[in-house]
Homo-oligomer: A and B are copies of this chain.
Amino acid sequence: VIPYGGGTSVVGHITPSKSDAPVLTLSLEKMTRLLDLDETSRLATFQAGVAGPQLEEQLKARGYTLGHFPQSFEYSTLGGWIVTRSSGQQSYRYGKIESLFAGGIMETPRGRLEMKPVPASAAGPDVREMALGSEGRLGVVTQAQVRVRRAPEAESFFGVFFHSWEQGSDAVREIVQNEIPVSMLRLSNPLETETTLILSGKSWLGMADRGLRMIGYGDTRCLLMFGVTGSARLFKRTRREAAALCRKFGGLFVGTIVGHTWEKNRFLAPYLRNTLWERGVAIDTLETALPWSQVREASVAIPKSIVDAAAKHNERVLAFSHLSHVYRDGASVYTTYLFRRTGDPDELLARWGTMKHDASLTIQRFGGTITHQHGVGMDHAPYLPAEKGALGMDAIRAVCKSFDPDGMMNPGKLF
């Protein structure tokens, strides 16, 4: 049985594994309703098949927001977010789905599991945390309580150019470790910065480029996008504080011009995949999260490992990274790579396999997690034992077996 939400997995969560057993795909597409909104507790109960826009619309009508905006927002569902430990673009403000998911119902082969929504608990190991990231192996999350907030009074996204990756990442780290309440921090490395500027296709770009170079923001420049979200009062103050801190690290505050473009296109990158594919170019992304002490080196080494892997096939690849989600103790490094499509699909798959594998080993070498937000599925399953350890894997298997003794739920995912 493969539970199906929005079908947006990029790591093989919903692909049947090779087997002679019959496969049943269970779609939750009709389970989209807001069942209850407890305004006092700011807890909303949804059916788990609700997709991002349906969820936010139902909340918006009551003046609330969940604030969970992954790039897959248009199609991905609440249930999918929970079982893959999803992150929204503004998780710095709203939290990963782990902190938004308060409780709910999971239907398992052995019956129903109810997880009561309590704000916090010391009552032993947290069963809710077993459902999070379970990727359909324990059962189907059918209903979930989520922690919502009042819709914000104000929100904008601002751009800042830095002279270098070092200065940019130091600035981002300072903002987080000083707990300045921005809602998003996203820092592109030099190559991604150039690609972003070119892809934006703005007519004023040539002039802006020359201007930036004249004042010293040249080939090594990095673009930071930061978001500010909240009450009008908080908004002004936070923008000022974040901008001031960026200036300390040589940052050039360029207001909302670049931010507006990003905001307009924030869910469109996945479509680019198809457009590029038709034009003969394949695109993939991979991501990790690691402590700050590893971030700077790893964010160079990961794209480099992809370039080196492609070279083994005598191919060139365009690989660039950004810091996509930041924490006091570290950040996620998100890498995009584009490579030529070959006529032979097996050859293309082999080439992709080499790049993905070498990048994954590089991530592990730096102590990063194999995935910060995409989940494990089939693609990352081979790398999980190194991360969890043999005992950790046994414990995960034991939990799966406890809910699903016959192993009928989404086999081949996670392990």
Interface residues of A (CB under 8 A from B): 38, 40-43, 84-87, 96, 102, 108, 110-127, 129-130, 132-135, 147, 149-150, 173, 177-179, 181, 230-231, 289-294, 325, 327-332, 367-376, 380, 384, 387-392, 394-399, 401-403, 414
The residue in chain B whose Cβ has the minimal distance to the Cβ of A364 is: B116
Copies in the complex: 2
Q: Which residues of B contact A124 (CB under 8 A)?
A: 133-135, 375-376, 384, 388, 396, 414
Residues of B within 8 A of A121 (CB): 85, 289, 369, 371-372
Inter-subunit contact B43/A291 (CB<8 Å): yes
| Residue from B127, B135, B294 within 8 A of A388 (CB atoms) | B127
**Chain B's nearest CB lies how many Å from the CB of A414?**
5
Give CA–CA (A130, B389) in the complex, Å.
14
A104 CB, nearest partner CB in chain B, Å: 12
Contacts of A125 in B (CB 8 A): 129-130, 132-134, 396, 399
| A330-B291 contact, Cβ under 8 Å, with A127-B396, A133-B124, A403-B391 | no
CB distance from A148 to the nearest CB of B (A): 9
Interface centre among A38, A42, A111, A403 (most CB of B within 10 A): A42
With the chains together, A294 CA to B43 CA distance in Å? 12
For the complex with contacts A41-B292, A119-B328, 14 further pairs of A-B residues with Cβ separation under 8 Å are A40-B292, A85-B122, A87-B122, A96-B120, A118-B289, A120-B325, A122-B376, A123-B371, A125-B134, A127-B389, A127-B392, A127-B396, A179-B230, A398-B401
B113, A391: Cβ atoms under 8 Å?
Answer: yes
**Complex contact A329–B87 (CB within 8 A):** no
Q: What are 23 pairs between A and B in contact, CB < 8 Å? A: A40-B173, A42-B328, A108-B391, A111-B391, A115-B392, A116-B367, A118-B330, A118-B367, A119-B289, A119-B327, A119-B332, A120-B289, A120-B327, A120-B332, A122-B373, A123-B133, A123-B388, A124-B388, A124-B414, A127-B388, A127-B389, A394-B402, A398-B402
